Amino acid sequence: MKIDEIIEGFEFIDDWEERIRFLIELGRDLEPLPAEAHSPANKVNGCTSQVWLETSVGDGPDPVLSFRGDSDAHLVKGLVAITIALYSGRSARTILATDAGEVFDRIRLREHLTPQRSNGLRAMVERIKREAASAARGELSTAGEA
């Protein structure tokens, strides 16, 4: 699902329990991450739940990064889905210029997350931004973390 569709979906849901169900459904719709991608290199540090993020980088002066991810927690898997929708398939420069906080505030997500989940979400975004910065410098040209 595209990030605009996700934002639109959240804007129509006022009840927090319904928002949680929508978030979990987003996680269920994620492309499955192969078992071999559940590796230490793909594990996102700073998350209470286990989160894996696989990165593919295209060639060129402003490479495009693509992400796939997974989590062992249903709600967190939904957060992974939103983060991937926001950043995957975008150029390194666009990723670096995109403020995830604005999107999470717009859909009123952060106000309902526990501090641990907020930290995990921040860790995912920081990882993506680090990889985009490395790709922009030409230091990251294959899957995996810099």
> Does 47 qualify as catalytic in the annotation?
yes
Mean per-residue pLDDT for 16-20? 91
Question: Where are the alpha helices (H) located in 13-99, listed in sequence order?
Answer: 16-28, 74-87, 92-97
Structure tokens belonging to residue 130: 């680090």
More confident residue, 139 or 70: 70
Catalytic hit among 33, 47, 73, 100: 47
Instruction: Say yes or no to pLDDT of 145 above 60.
Output: no
- Mean per-residue pLDDT of the chain: 91
Relative to beta strand 90-91, strand 64-71 is antiparallel
The structural domains of the chain, ordered by start, are 3-136 (3.90.1010.10)
Q: Give residue 65's region: left, alpha or beta (phi > 0; psi -120 to 50).
A: beta
